[in-house]
Structure 1
Amino acid sequence: MRKGILERLNAGEVVIGDGGYVMQLERRGYVKAPHFTPEAAVEHPEAVRQLHREFQRAGADVLQTLTFYSSDEKLKISGNVTDITGTQINEAACDLAREIANESDALVAAGVSQTPVYPVNRNQAEVKAIIQKQLDVFKRKDIDFYMVEFFKHVEEAVWAVEVMKAGGKPVGATLCISPQGDKDGTPPGECAVRLVRAGADMVGINCHLDPLTCVRTVKLMKEGLEKAGLKAHLMVQPLGFHTPECNHSGYTTLAEYPFAMEARAMTRWDMQKYAREAYNAGIRYIGGCCGFEPYHIRAIAEEMSPERGVLPAASDKHGLWGAGLATYGTSFMTERACREYWENLLPASGRPNCPSMSRPALK
């Protein structure tokens, strides 16, 4: 039997999460921006299945269900579908993730995200009812553990954790906040304390900000837990983009969002640095969110291979740090078959008139 998420983390293992789904599927023509609702799980299961398989082959130990924003309330606001329900999406997404996870010892995590009703009235009962409807499906599908992710307000995330904890499985909770705190100004350390007291087994940060900023925020969460005498596993699943201008407000304020973010994509070498920084900070659940492609997850798996004792299948063709280039036969290429070359490289954008930064929209 495959080991559970807490069994792995309690043993000190590094658990590698998967990458971003809705943005990758939007680029491939299966998801509509900016609402990013996940009806592709019903409409185009083959696309979701393929992306799951790519992340797994790259080294992901966890496959998350495509259930981001999967509620009837969000579907209604988005106007994307008229005849597909949230329950149908949640059921299909669970089945797809489980199908691919069963090809290895990967776990399936079912996630819930912020609700459209919270910003309107902050009604606890309404928020919990939406979350409960998703949980009912996850319980029927016997998902391995639950994720509460992409919450800007810790209050709403706490309500979600309380609901998901009743499902009888481990719960991870990640906020999309900056080192300055959540949207109400609650510091990261206090956010972590509230999430753990609500029942979260794992806490951390996901999306909205770049990797090193997210790691910095998780460090503040860790400090808060230590001061409160609480323990929880730490996790991080950041953006796969460079976002220095908006590392407080989030990447949706950038002029390039959502259709021109490619110029900000991080390289695989950026990801190896991120993975090492996260590991050194005591984080053992390391993955990605929007902008993370399979090769980014492979880079994390490669960086963590000394600790994990294994390389992913997707590393077979090229070797660590470009070692496969050594067989090319020309000196200008063989000299690149080493860690020193790629670590010291300053990648060019190729855009002569491109500004180094843009001006985020004020929010």
Structure 2
Amino acid sequence: MANITILDGGMGRELARRKVPFQQPEWSALALYQQPSAIQLVHEDFIISGADIITTNSYAIVPFHIGETRFLLDSQSLANLSGELAQKAVKNRGKSTKIAGSIPPLFGSYRPDLFDPKRVEEIAKPIINGLSNYADFWLCETQSSIIEPQSIKPLLPNDDRPMWVSFTLQDEKPSSVPCLRSGESVEQATLEMIKLGVKAILFNCCQPEVIENAVQVTKAVLSKHNADIRIGAYANAFPPQPENATANDGLDEIRDDLDPISYLNWAKKWVDAGATIIGGCCGIGPEHIKVLSEQLTAPI
């Protein structure tokens, strides 16, 4: 088996499970306001469980979640706090653990229809600026369309820190041709990410059942173009999300069939298909990451 890098799991639902302040629409940003120490403890538990990479809790620092007024006032300081908490966790528990600076979908999860190119810089820059002192690399998460990471790349600091991009896939009615939630094909997305110069292409915040095919297609395209780009996956534990889903409709149920061993079995399929970066998204906790770390050999 190839060397596997272990990502952490989902922060938001882990906070909710621990009875930390957590609700819609603020999602995981609420804990930054009310109980930031709990965020650091979750990071530390993921490190203890074997995560090679922890992801900053900056996913919900967007107007979609915290509103326009709080975003204008607090976004950069919240991003800075999320980076600081990750850094403290690394110092406490795992000095070799890397920090992924999470750049979220700027206009809401699963909503490519809300993308507004005129506001990308306005929303992205405070998050990037707040995280810049802490991020070892940049992770654009839950991207529903190709234009989203393409719009972020010019805004990143002009240094040698890599950019990783993680797309979310259609999972309500999956087809033999894996597609982003925008309807764009994974093949097309991979070709565009080669042009963009990313260092990893991942798939997250979708059902584990749809990821294997996407990994296979990505690997085939990368091989055809001799592109040295890693592939990764971190599924959620939600039921399939319909096309009209929005992240602020309420809290999705967590599937009861994705215990750590079941999730590991899916992860093994992704590894066999070509993935070398494995973690978890919403509903995947430290107990899942522990099993992944123990079963998948993983120096970063």
Q: Tell me the TM-score normalised to structure 1 length.
A: 0.70
Decide whether the 8 Å contact of 2:25 with 2:66 is kept in 1: no
Alpha-carbon separation, structure 2, partners of 1:156 and 1:260: 24
SS in 2 for 1:63: strand
Match of 1:25 in 2: 15
Per-residue displacement from partner, 1:81-134 (whole Å, max 9, x unpaired)? Answer: 689611121111101101111221211111111112985774434213322221
| Alignment counterpart, residue 212 of structure 1, candidates 209, 222, 244 | 209
Q: Tell me, in whole angstroms, the C-alpha distance in 1 between the residues paired with 2:135 and 2:71.
A: 27
Structure 1 residue 299, shift from structure 2 partner:
1.3
Q: 1:17 and 1:112, CA in 2 relative to 1: closer, same or farther beyond 3 A?
A: same
Residues 107-126 of structure 1: matches in 2 within 5 Å? 107-116=98-107, 122-126=115-119
Alignment-derived partner of residue 100 in structure 1: 89
Q: 1:68 to 1:278 in 2, by over 3 A?
A: same
* Structure 2 length-normalised TM: 0.84
- Which contiguous aligned blocks of 4+ residues in structure 1 show a shift greater than 6 angstroms? none
Contact 2:112 2:182 (8 Å CA) reproduced: no
Cα shift at 1:40: 1.3
Structure 2, unpaired ranges of 5+: 171-176
Same amino acid, percent of matched pairs: 18
Call closer, same or farther: CA 1:66–1:251 in 2, change over 3 Å: farther
Q: Higher Cα Rg: structure 1 or 2? A: 1
**Is the counterpart of residue 135 in structure 1 residue 128 in structure 2?**
yes
Equivalent pairs counted in the alignment come to 286
Report if aligned partners of 1:181, 1:187 keep a CA contact under 8 Å in 2: yes
- Alignment partner, residue 269 of structure 1: 261
Instruction: Describe the SS at the equivalent of 1:236.
Output: strand
In structure 2, how many angstroms separate the alpha carbons of the residues matched to 1:84 and 1:42?
A: 13
1:281 equivalent in alignment to 2:299: no
Code of the residue aligned with 1:90 in structure 2: it is A
| 3-state DSSP of counterpart to 2:67 | helix
> How big is the shift at 1:162?
3.7
The answer on 1:68 being equivalent to 2:65 is no
Distance 2:64 2:209 in 1: 34
Query: Aligned partners of 2:127, 2:252: CA distance in 1, in Å?
Result: 32
Distance 1:22 1:50 in 2: 13
Structure showing greater relative contact order (alpha-carbon pairs closer than 8 Å, 6 or more residues apart): 2
Asked whether 1:14 is paired with 2:7, we answer no
Residues 265, 20 of structure 1: alpha-carbon distance in 2 compared, 3 angstrom cutoff = farther
SS at match of 1:264: coil
Q: CA deviation at 1:221?
A: 1.9
After TM superposition, give the deviation of residue 33 of structure 1 in Å: 2.3
Q: Deviations over 1:237-275 (max 9, x none)?
A: 11134x4xx37x47958xxx8546235351111122122
Structure 1 residue runs without a partner (length 5+): 1-11, 310-363
